[in-house]
């Protein structure tokens, strides 16, 4: 099986080539191109979030824990003291990083549902929705971002298949 470094390297190369096409065709602005490149790389390791102790699951749950902890602080920053905000930050981070992580790993199995094209399509749609609704990207940019995640996801699945052949 391909390891994390291989998935990361090949997804970076594929995402870089796809981003180069966007540059040549003048489809997106420079900041969007960086986002698309990054989304392609994220898609390249996303199928391994169901592996209990893999680098991708650690990255995803650390990122989610920090993101939601900061969002919580930003939401309640004017209502609580600094000490209370630090406690709230710690609670939210710990809840997501350790409790939800533990529940997630109990209900998932490596090479299960997350190693499917359908899951890649769901992540594609989810990314497009998040880019459009939360980050205010245009419809075109949102769909391109979603397809970059799917592209990286498919690279991962193809690498797994290619490396499993004797």
User: What does the pLDDT look like over 61-111, one tens digit per residue?
Assistant: 998 899 899 989 998 889 999 999 999 999 999 999 999 999 988 888 877
pLDDT for 19 beyond 70: yes
pLDDT for 57 beyond 70: yes
pLDDT for 146 beyond 90: yes
- pLDDT at res. 166: 61
Quick: pLDDT tens for 100-117: 999 988 888 877 788 899
CB 156 within 8 A of CB 47: yes
CA distance linking residue 127 with residue 151, whole number of Å: 12
pLDDT for 131 beyond 70: yes
- 3-state SS assignment for residue 122: helix
CA distance linking residue 6 with residue 41, whole number of Å: 12
Picking from 159, 114, 134, 157, the residue whose alpha carbon sits closest to that of residue 71 is 134
- 3-state SS assignment for residue 79: coil
Q: What is the pTM of this model?
A: 0.81
**Torsion sign (Cα): 82, 88, 90, 96:** negative
For every residue of 19-65, DSSP letters joined together read HHHHHHHT-S-HHHHHHHHHHHHHHHHGGGGGSTT-HHHHHHHHHHH
């Amino acid at each position: 099986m391909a390891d994390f470094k291989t998935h990361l390297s090949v997804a970076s190369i594929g995402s870089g080539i796809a981003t180069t096409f966007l540059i040549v065709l003048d489809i997106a602005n420079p900041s969007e191109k960086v986002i698309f490149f990054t989304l392609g790389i994220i898609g390249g390791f996303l199928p391994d979030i169901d592996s209990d102790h893999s680098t991708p699951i650690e990255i995803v749950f650390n990122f989610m824990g920090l993101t939601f902890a900061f969002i919580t602080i930003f939401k309640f920053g004017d209502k609580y003291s600094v000490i209370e905000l630090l406690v709230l930050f710690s609670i939210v981070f710990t809840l997501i990083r350790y409790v939800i992580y533990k529940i997630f790993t109990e209900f998932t199995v490596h090479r299960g549902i997350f190693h499917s094209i359908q899951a890649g399509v769901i992540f594609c749609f989810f990314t497009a929705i998040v880019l459009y609704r939360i980050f205010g990207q245009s419809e075109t940019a949102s769909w391109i971002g979603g397809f970059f995640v799917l592209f990286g996801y498919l690279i991962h699945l193809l690498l797994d298949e290619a490396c499993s052949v004797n």
